[in-house]
Homo-oligomer: A and B are copies of this chain.
Amino acid sequence: MATISKKSQLMPASAIRKLVPFADEAKSRGTKVFHLNVGAPDIKSPTVALDAVKENTLDHISYSNSAGLIELRKGMVEKYYRGIGIDIELPDIITTVGGSEAVNMALAITCDEGDEIIVMEPFYTNYNTFCFMNGITLKAVHTDIRSGFQVPPVEAFEQLVTPRTKAILLSNPGNPTGTLYSKESMLALGEVARKHDLFLISDEVYREFCYADEPHFSAMHIPGLEQNVILLDSVSKRYNLCGCRIGCLISRNPEVMKAAMKYAQARLCPPIYGQLAAIAALDTPPEYFDAVKQEYIARRDLALRRLNAMEGVYSPVPQGAFYTVAEIPVDDAEAFAKWMLTDFRMDGCTTMVTPAKSFYKTPGCGVNHIRLAYVLDLPLLDKAMDVLEAGLQAYPGRTL
Contact = CB atoms under 8 A, between A and B. Distances in A.
Identical chains in the assembly: 2
A212 interface: no
B58 A55 contact: no
Contacts of A7: 108, 112-113
Contact of A14 (B40, B61, B245, B265): B265
A400 interface: no
B110 A2 contact: yes
A111 interface: yes
Interface residues of A, number: 83
Majority DSSP secondary structure for residues of A touching B: loop
A3 interface: yes
A243 interface: yes
A82 interface: no
Interface in A104-130: 104, 108-113, 115, 126, 129-130
A147 interface: no
B166 A5 contact: yes
Interface string A128-146: 0110010100000000000
A96 B263 CA distance: 17
Contacts of A182: none
Contacts of A266: 14, 100, 104, 126, 129-130, 133
Interface in A52-111: 53-56, 58-64, 66, 97-98, 100-101, 104, 108-111
A40 B9 CA distance: 37
A268 B98 contact: yes
Contacts of A14: 66, 262, 265-266
Interface in A245-289: 245, 253, 255-256, 259, 261-263, 265-274, 277
Contact of A12 (B54, B262, B271): B262
Among all A-B residue pairs, the 4 with the closest Cβ atoms: A243-B272, A273-B273, A8-B259, A271-B271
A265 B17 contact: yes
A29 interface: no
A53 B1 CA distance: 43
A255 B11 CA distance: 12
A197 B274 CA distance: 41
Interface stretch (A41-49, A318-326, A352-360): A41-49
Interface string A1-26: 11111111101111001000000000
B271 A274 contact: yes
A359 to B, nearest CB: 15
A243 B133 contact: no
A115 B111 CA distance: 20
A97 to B, nearest CB: 6
Given A5-B110, A53-B273, A54-B54, 12 more contacts: A2-B228, A4-B110, A44-B60, A49-B61, A50-B59, A62-B243, A97-B271, A104-B267, A108-B133, A242-B269, A244-B273, A245-B268
Nearest to A107: B5
A45 B17 contact: no
Q: Among A1, A2, A43, which residue has the most Cβ atoms of chain B within 10 A?
A: A2
